[in-house]
Structure 1
Amino acid sequence: MTWTSFHRRGEVLRDVTASANRRRDGHLPMELTGVAETFGDELTLLAALQLRWHTRLAGRIERELLAEPMELEDAVVAAWHTTADELPGVLAILDRERTAPSTPEISEALAKAAAKEHTLLAMMSGRVSTPDATAARIGAEIEDRARATYVVAPVPVAEPSGFLHRLKAVVAA
């Protein structure tokens, strides 16, 4: 991958993330300019979005744990909430594809990613020390707790602006 293509991929992924976070409909924005040329197929784009989610979550967990909390699991859940607030559209896409995958390859890839995420949650919460099936099960319980206590952030609404809006405000006053 050349330096130019690396930067182009990052730029397109930022556009995809921004679009997904605005829309929050759970659909991959394959129609965006540059997506098909840069990522090629849905699996490759989903893998990039999964990696974005995972790295953001891992970073948020590290940040929460730096505050030296008394309850490690609470810190992990708070980090999950923060990540969900920052990447709501990405989470919606990943959730949709986990529950109704487009292809068997997507199903397999997202199942592996979920198991790794669950292991991360369990280990960082201090409930396990080895990455095994028990860690994946406990991590799934922590994710369930995070989802159950999560309050979805409202979709931001842009304030109308411009001459017409100001004129209407003056007339209404």
Structure 2
Amino acid sequence: MTWTSFHRRGEILRDAIASANRRRDGLLPLDVPGVHETFPDELSLLGALQLRWHTRLAGRIERELMLQPLDLESAVVAAWQATADELPGVLAIVDRQRATPATPEIAVAMEKSAAKEHILLAMMAGRVSVPDAAAARVGAAIEEQARATYVGAPAPEEPEARTLLGRLKAALAA
């Protein structure tokens, strides 16, 4: 991969993430210009989105642990929720593909990524020390706790809604 194609791939991935975060419908943003040329199939796009989610989550956990080092589990929960606020569309895609994978290959990839994410959550919360199936179960419980107490960020307003005409339309519709 050349330096130019590397940067182009990053731009298209950012556009895809922005589109997913606006829509929040859980569908892969295959309609974003350049996606089909950059990502050969759904699995490669999903993999890039999953990697972005995972790296953002890991970084958030590190930051939260610096802020509240005595309550590890609360820090991990707060980090998961902050990541969900930053990447709500990506989370919706990940959730949808975990629940109803588009292909058998995606099902296998999502199962592995979920297990790895759960192990990360459990280990960073200080609840386990060995990355095994028990750690994945503990991490899944931590994720459930994060979801149960999560109050999602509101969807961004459409540009038209911020204009006078958009506000008038909204007032008339109500």
SS at match of 2:12: helix
Cα distance, 1:56 vs structure 2: 0.2
User: How many aligned positions are there?
Assistant: 167
Deviation sequence 1:82-105 (CA, Å, 0-9, x none):
000000000000100110100000
Distance 2:6 2:157 in 1: 33
Q: CA RMSD in A?
A: 1.8
One-letter identity of the residue aligned with 2:162: P
CA distance in 2, matches of 1:13, 1:66: 29
SS at match of 1:25: coil
Structure 1 residue identity aligned to 2:24: R
1:116-156 alpha-carbon deviations (Å, 9 max, x no partner): 00000000000011111111110011001111111111112
| Shift of residue 35, structure 1, vs aligned partner | 0.1
1:104 aligned partner: 104
Matched, 1:130 2:130: yes
> Are 2:68 and 2:75, in contact at CA under 8 Å, matched by a contact in 1?
no
1:54-73 mapped onto 2 (5 Å cutoff): 54-73=54-73
Q: Which residue of 1 aligns with 2:35?
A: 35
CA deviations 1:30-82 (Å, max 9, x no partner) are: 11110000001100000000000000000000000011432100000000000
CA distance in 2, matches of 1:86, 1:155: 11
1:161 lines up with 2:169 in the alignment: no
Alpha-carbon distance between aligned partners in 1 of 2:67 and 2:136, rounded to the nearest angstrom? 25
The sequence identity of aligned pairs, in percent, is 71
Larger Rg: 1
Mean CA deviation greater in 131-140 or 51-60: 131-140
1:119 match: 119
Q: Any stretches of 5+ residues in structure 2 without a counterpart?
A: 167-174
Q: Does the CA-based 8 Å contact 2:80-2:146 persist in structure 1? A: yes
> 2:25, 2:12 → 1: CA distance?
19
SS at match of 1:76: helix
Post-superposition shift, 1:161? Answer: 3.0
Structure 2 counterpart of 1:128, which letter? V
**1:8 maps to what in 2?**
8
SS at 1:40 equivalent: coil
- In structure 1, the gaps of 5 or more residues are 166-173
TM-score by length of 2: 0.91
| C-alpha separation in 1, matches of 2:96 and 2:81 | 18
- C-alpha separation in 2, matches of 1:89 and 1:144: 18
